[in-house]
Amino acid sequence: MTIKASKASKASKASKASRKTKSTERAVLDLRALNRATLERQLLLRRSPLSAGAAVEHLLGLQAQNVKPPYYALAARLDGFTPEALSGLMAERAVVRIVTMRSTIHTHTAADCLTLRPLVQAARDRELSNFRMGLAGVDLDRLAVLARELVEAEPRTMKELREELLVEWPDADPQALAIAARCKLPLVQVTPRGLWGRSGQVALTTAEHWLGRPTEPSPDLEGTVLRYLGAFGPASVKDMQTWAGLTRLREAFERLRPRLVTFSDPNGVELFDLPDAPRPAADTPAPPRFLPEFDNLLLSHADRTRVVPPEYRGRAWQGNVAHRTFLVDGFLAGVWKVEDGHLVIEAFGRLTKGQRDEVSAEGARMLDTLHKGSSYDIRFGTVVARS
């Protein structure tokens, strides 16, 4: 007896066949082409004439776990950058330091602070679930109201915030109380923290209070997808989810599909991109660049092989500590540090004489940009691979 396939079964098979055909029709971007496209979007293939503020906006913020990384990040990317340019924006409250993507501190423009922070609120709510035992019996809505009153009366350190909240909930875990306040409220770090050449402990107030205007509705997700692709594309859905610390973004990409172009990476993963975005040739020269620890170039894709060779995976980190890194020919090539009057450059592998000369010249330029008036020797070493 012959059993005819149901209409649903036929439709399913047709759909799978269609997807397979589209997959085979997509152009493949090899790693070097993907690398060059990403470097161009990240302003690392050639230095950009953008202002510091415009660059922070284009890049959707700069990773800023420590104070100096945003300055090093822009020094690598902008033509004529001076640290005073970013520091001035921070002093004027045109840019701020706030926890956003991946629950990490970023330097954002004021406008992005007020919109991107609400966009990632769902991730901050999930983060709170990790502290539920320490927050047993705590009314989180009441905590948000009280914490807002405290930090808007005067900026508070996390220690001060813990102590004040502990008066209301003496049986709660003090650290969990402060983290709950950070998750529930858009807390920014007030200056002088973050200013170039200045020091200051972390003191917090709300973004609304610091900037003098209310938090805005989160931007439409599709608009943020387009901005992400402009700064990090071509990229997969998982890439953007890694960057944002969010999940379930597939639907937003699908809604945008008619407006985008698609490619495949060497592993067949679908990559989305803006039709008119630059995609330089794979053989486009990529000068050396010195990057800070936690640079978003190395953190914003699920598959980092577009910048990190597989044999160097994990070598820019040691435990929870990230090293400052440098690129050669567009790819991660080693780590660097400034100490005791020396710029110490440690390559993961052998550099040719020409590459060493180019790296030295770029290192000298970086030092002149950020440490003008100081004298540094440049030394090379080799990082011993960890077993």
Give per-residue pLDDT as tens, 137-196.
999 999 999 999 999 999 999 999 999 999 999 999 999 999 999 999 999 999 999 999
Residue type (1 letter), 140: L
Out of 211, 228, 253, a domain closes at 211
Helical spans, DSSP H, in the chain: 7-25, 31-41, 52-58, 69-77, 83-91, 110-119, 121-128, 140-153, 158-168, 174-184, 207-211, 221-232, 237-244, 250-256, 353-370
Out of 254, 273, 292, a domain closes at 273
User: What is the model's pLDDT at position 265?
Assistant: 96
**Per the domain annotation, does 264 fall within a domain?**
yes
User: What is the model's pLDDT at position 59?
Assistant: 98
pLDDT per residue over 179-225, tens digit each?
999 999 999 999 999 999 998 899 999 999 999 998 877 778 999 99
Residue type (1 letter), 314: G
- Residues 269, 172 within the same domain: no
- Residues 128, 161 within the same domain: yes
- Residues 198, 72 within the same domain: yes
Farthest-apart Cα atoms in the chain, separation: 90
How many other CB atoms are found less than 10 A from the CB of residue 201?
11
Pairwise CA distance, residues 10 & 17, whole Å: 10
- Residues 104, 199 within the same domain: yes
pLDDT of 387 higher than 80: no
Question: 281 CB contacts (<8 Å, ≥6 apart)?
Answer: 33, 36
pLDDT of 8 higher than 50: no
Task: Let me know: does 205 contact 190? Beta carbons within 8 Å.
Answer: yes
The helix, strand and coil proportions of the chain, stated in percent and rounded to the nearest 5, come to 45, 15, 35
pLDDT per residue over 312-330, tens digit each?
998 888 777 889 999 999 9
Among 35-44, 118-127, 236-245, where is mean pLDDT lowest? 118-127
How many other CB atoms are found less than 10 A from the CB of residue 105?
24
- Residues 85, 181 within the same domain: yes
Task: Let me know: does 108 contact 95? Beta carbons within 8 Å.
Answer: yes
For 126-138, the DSSP string reads HHHGGGTTTTTT-
**Per the domain annotation, does 371 fall within a domain?**
yes
- Residues 205, 223 within the same domain: no
- Residues 122, 250 within the same domain: no
Model confidence at 24, pLDDT cuts 50, 70, 90, reads low
User: What is the model's pLDDT at position 1?
Assistant: 39
**Per the domain annotation, does 127 fall within a domain?**
yes
**Per the domain annotation, does 62 fall within a domain?**
yes
**Per the domain annotation, does 206 fall within a domain?**
yes
Among 51-55, 93-97, 322-326, where is mean pLDDT lowest? 322-326
- How many structural domains does the chain have? 3
- Residues 75, 169 within the same domain: yes
- Residues 65, 179 within the same domain: yes
**Per the domain annotation, does 15 fall within a domain?**
no
**Per the domain annotation, does 1 fall within a domain?**
no
- Residues 233, 204 within the same domain: no
pLDDT per residue over 240-286, tens digit each?
999 999 999 999 999 999 999 999 999 999 999 999 999 999 999 99
Question: 126 CB contacts (<8 Å, ≥6 apart)?
Answer: none
Q: Whole domain around residue 206: which residue ranges?
A: 52-211
- Residues 88, 206 within the same domain: yes
Q: Which residues pair with 142 in a beta bridge?
A: none
Structure tokens at 45: 């293939």
pLDDT of 4 higher than 60: no
- Residues 125, 197 within the same domain: yes
Structure tokens at 115: 């919109």
- Torsion angle of the four alpha carbons 135, 141, 146, 149, in this order, in degrees rounded to the nearest 10: 140
**Per the domain annotation, does 318 fall within a domain?**
yes
**CA distances in angstroms from 9 to 3, 5, 6, 52, 201, listed in the order given:** 12, 6, 5, 56, 63
Q: What mean pLDDT, rounded, does the chain reach?
A: 91
User: What is the model's pLDDT at position 385?
Assistant: 55
User: What is the model's pLDDT at position 58?
Assistant: 98
Asked whether the CA dihedral 237, 240, 242, 248 is positive or negative, the reply is negative
Out of 164, 190, 211, a domain closes at 211
pLDDT of 331 higher than 80: yes
Q: What average pLDDT does the segment 78-96 reach?
A: 98
